[in-house]
Amino acid sequence: MSVAPAVEPAAGRAAAPAIRVAGVGFRYPGAPQDALRGVSFEIGPRELVGVVGPNGGGKTTLMRLLLGQLEPREGEVRVLGRRPADASERVGYVPQQASVDPTVPATVLDLVLTGRLAASSWGPWYGRRDLAAAREGLERTGTADLADRSWATLSGGQRQRVLIARALASHPGLLLLDEPTSGVDLHREQAVLELLHRLNAEMPIVMVSHDIALVSTHMDTALWVNREVAALPAAELTVAAVEHLFHGERSCHPVEAEAGGAAAGPGPA
């Protein structure tokens, strides 16, 4: 079956947003208040976005909505023009490296191949296309030489790049990352950021981070999440701006912690 080539937007016509969130609210069952309320924003097709905010402010909930793991109580979420659950095969998700069991008896190549599960017509078995896609992901992240290594033997920086390779194996149109620089030293953090900048030339990237300085320096846009969401140019995410955003929102409670998170989803926010 042939696939039609991608059509560039006509001159003067803006490209469709990669992510569109309109009037979204969400509350966990039994929670006394909304985890998110009145959330609206758009992310463009080549934006590099940092998601920041206090613990329990709703970052994890927002990521789970984008991944299709949760349904909003009100409003609408569209990812790559579709409902998140319908777009999941085109979304590459990179969890925190701590979410992967370090004792898992698998090679790096085995782990990266799991990124092909949704695309594989063989179920849990992999064909030549899957193997080629996994090796391509390793090449693109500079980890091809680690293919036969055990996950347990890798450094923090190597693990993070391998998790990105796993996400790339699905040939995504969007990358979502949860704390991709957590647990790595400054040198390896820089390597991960350089990789993300290269990938951002091909696709939009959204990453959760607790590092305000990193987001303000390396991202295009910052999303401040504390039950409500404020979008601003990342360069404007100064200490004064954070204090201003936080002012008046101190009544926010860690509703996510009360409700608990899914094992397959993002880590605590």
Query: Do residues 112 and 239 share a domain?
Result: no
Q: What is the pLDDT along the chain (269 residues), one digit of tens a residue?
A: 333 333 344 454 567 899 999 999 999 999 999 999 999 999 999 999 999 999 999 999 999 999 999 999 999 999 999 999 999 999 999 998 767 888 888 899 999 999 998 655 445 678 899 999 999 999 999 999 999 999 989 988 899 999 999 999 999 999 999 999 887 888 889 999 999 999 999 999 999 999 999 999 999 999 999 999 999 999 999 888 888 887 745 433 333 333 444 334 564 45
- 52: in domain: yes
- pLDDT at residue number 5: 36
- pLDDT at residue number 265: 52
- pLDDT at residue number 129: 92
DSSP-derived letter for residue 255 is H
- pLDDT at residue number 6: 38
pTM, full prediction: 0.84
- pLDDT at residue number 79: 98
- Quote the tokens at residue 226: 């504390």
Query: Do residues 150 and 180 share a domain?
Result: no
CATH number of the domain that residue 28 is part of = 3.40.50.300
Rounded Cα–Cα distance for residues 31 and 43 (Å): 29
Q: Report how far apart, in Å, the C-alpha atoms of 202 and of each of 8, 10, 96 are.
A: 14, 19, 23
Query: Do residues 26 and 131 share a domain?
Result: no
- 153: in domain: yes
- 106: in domain: yes
Per the DSSP assignment, residues forming a β-bridge with 194 are: none
Query: Do residues 164 and 109 share a domain?
Result: yes
Count the domains in the chain.
2
- 11: in domain: no
- 94: in domain: no
- 43: in domain: yes
- pLDDT at residue number 134: 96
Structural domain containing residue 71:
18-80+175-188+204-269
Query: Do residues 180 and 168 share a domain?
Result: no
- pLDDT at residue number 7: 39
**Burial 244-262, CB ≥16 within 10 A → b, else e:** ebeeeeeebeebbeeeebe
Query: Do residues 254 and 184 share a domain?
Result: yes
- pLDDT at residue number 10: 47
Contact 215, 179 (CB under 8 A): no
Query: Do residues 218 and 165 share a domain?
Result: no
Residue with tokens 């955003």: 245
Rounded Cα–Cα distance for residues 133 and 143 (Å): 14
Query: Which pairing describes strands 19-26 and 74-79: parallel, antiparallel, or unpaired?
Result: antiparallel
Contact 180, 150 (CB under 8 A): no
Residue with tokens 């095969």: 89
What three-state secondary structure class fits 90?
A: helix
Rounded Cα–Cα distance for residues 146 and 108 (Å): 6
- pLDDT at residue number 120: 52
- 4: in domain: no
- pLDDT at residue number 51: 98
Query: Do residues 253 and 182 share a domain?
Result: yes
